[in-house]
């Protein structure tokens, strides 16, 4: 298995980036995570659209056109071998000649890096147990819609959740629950599926959009609306979604059972619809 760095495929151990890279010094870059099921990059167009949006938001010129991105990611997945993989890609503003907050000279080229990891579907037993989550104050910045590599708050929040014996932090800001530290959030209440609306406070999840598409297709009532802490605590079901964890039921919130403490019937249907469209 090889990684991609600035136009070349090479062994991971040989992939080196200069210490003056702005990704290293400033976290000045953006990333994507794309699942590849049996060699097929899933929802690639949506991920490349979001990549464009992130790059535009941080004013890094896209180093590749669509066809080049598709070809290089496809080649990377092919070299990863059979089975499912997740592709991580990141673009930083590049390596400057000195450390300076201001953008470097125009001839500094973005650093493009991509690698794959084996993607293991959650164990059936794990899916049936569901995840435990903890509500935490959102300490991130005001542009959480950008998929920036600057993830220190997310890292600290996730670790705080793990230290408390939980799987994920659910983030609350100004009374509204927004998303997990690395996942989108859904609730089911009175048969209605809800997720917070897109905006600067959360990442526009590709899996989130797919879940809404599937709800629409199968006639499950859904809404994009603000979700309060009270809504969350009263919900019949809570789900977290991401490209690497698919649709995961949350069965414990702050140590209390969600619903009857087991993944709910609406989750079960959605998880099945998701598997069907993966295939
Ligand atoms: N994280 N919200 C946040 C803050 C995320 O980091 C992610 C994904 C999501 C879900 O987005 P998507 O469905 O497009 O994967 C929501 C990735 C998987 C990561 O950082 O590893």
Q: Evaluate if pTM is beyond 0.90.
A: yes
Rounded to an integer, what distance in angstroms lies between the CA atom of residue 231 and that of residue 224?
14
What does the pLDDT read at residue 121? 83
DSSP 17-66: --TTBHHHHH--EEEEEEEEETTEETTHHHHHHHHHHHHHHHT---SS-H
Eight-class DSSP state of 222: E
Q: Which residues lie across from 172 on neighbouring strands? A: 137, 177
Rounded to an integer, what distance in angstroms lies between the CA atom of residue 188 and that of residue 221?
10
Any ligand 1 atom below 6 A from CB of 205: yes
What does the pLDDT read at residue 70? 98
ipTM score for this prediction: 0.99
Domain ranges of the chain: 3-118, 124-278
How far does the centroid of ligand 1 lie from the alpha carbon of residue 23, in Å? 19
Which of ligand 1's atoms lies nearest the C-alpha of 184?
Answer: 16
Is domain 124-278 in CATH 3.30.750.24, yes or no?
no
Any ligand 1 atom below 6 A from CB of 179: yes
Active site residues: 147
Other CB atoms within 10 Å distance of the CB of residue 125: 7
What does the pLDDT read at residue 104? 96
3-118 architecture in CATH?
Answer: 2-Layer Sandwich (3.30)
Which of ligand 1's atoms lies nearest the C-alpha of 210?
Answer: 13
Report the chain (279 residues): mean pLDDT per 10 consecutive residues: 95 97 98 97 98 98 98 97 97 97 95 97 90 98 98 98 98 98 98 98 98 98 98 98 97 97 98 94
What does the pLDDT read at residue 117? 97
How far does the centroid of ligand 1 lie from the alpha carbon of residue 14, in Å? 28
Q: Whose Cα sits closest to atom 9 in ligand 1?
A: 183
């Amino acid at each position: 298995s090889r990684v991609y760095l600035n136009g070349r495929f090479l062994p991971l151990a040989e992939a080196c980036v200069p210490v003056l890279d702005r990704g290293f010094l400033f976290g000045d870059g953006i990333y994507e995570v794309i699942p590849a099921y049996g060699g097929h990059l899933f929802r690639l167009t949506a991920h490349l659209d979001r990549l464009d949006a992130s790059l535009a938001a941080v004013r890094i010129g896209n180093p590749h056109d669509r066809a080049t991105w598709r070809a290089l990611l496809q080649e990377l997945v092919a070299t990863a071998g059979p089975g499912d993989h997740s592709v991580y890609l990141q673009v930083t503003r590049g390596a400057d000649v000195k450390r300076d907050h201001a953008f470097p000279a125009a001839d500094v080229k973005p650093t493009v890096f991509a690698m794959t990891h084996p993607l293991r579907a959650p164990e059936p037993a794990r899916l049936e147990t569901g995840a435990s989550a903890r509500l935490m104050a959102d300490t991130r910045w005001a542009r959480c819609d950008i998929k920036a590599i600057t993830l220190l708050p997310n890292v600290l929040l996730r670790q705080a959740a793990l230290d408390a014996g939980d799987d994920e932090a659910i983030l609350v800001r100004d009374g509204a629950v927004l998303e997990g530290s690395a996942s989108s959030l859904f609730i089911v209440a009175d048969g209605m599926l809800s997720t917070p609306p897109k905006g600067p406070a959360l990442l526009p999840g590709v899996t989130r959009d797919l879940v809404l598409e599937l709800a629409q297709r199968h006639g499950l009532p859904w809404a994009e609306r603000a979700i309060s802490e009270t809504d969350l605590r009263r919900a019949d079901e809570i789900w977290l979604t991401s490209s690497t964890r698919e649709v995961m039921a949350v069965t414990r919130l702050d140590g209390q059972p969600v619903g009857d403490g087991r993944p709910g019937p609406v989750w079960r249907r959605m998880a099945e619809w998701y598997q069907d469209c993966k295939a």
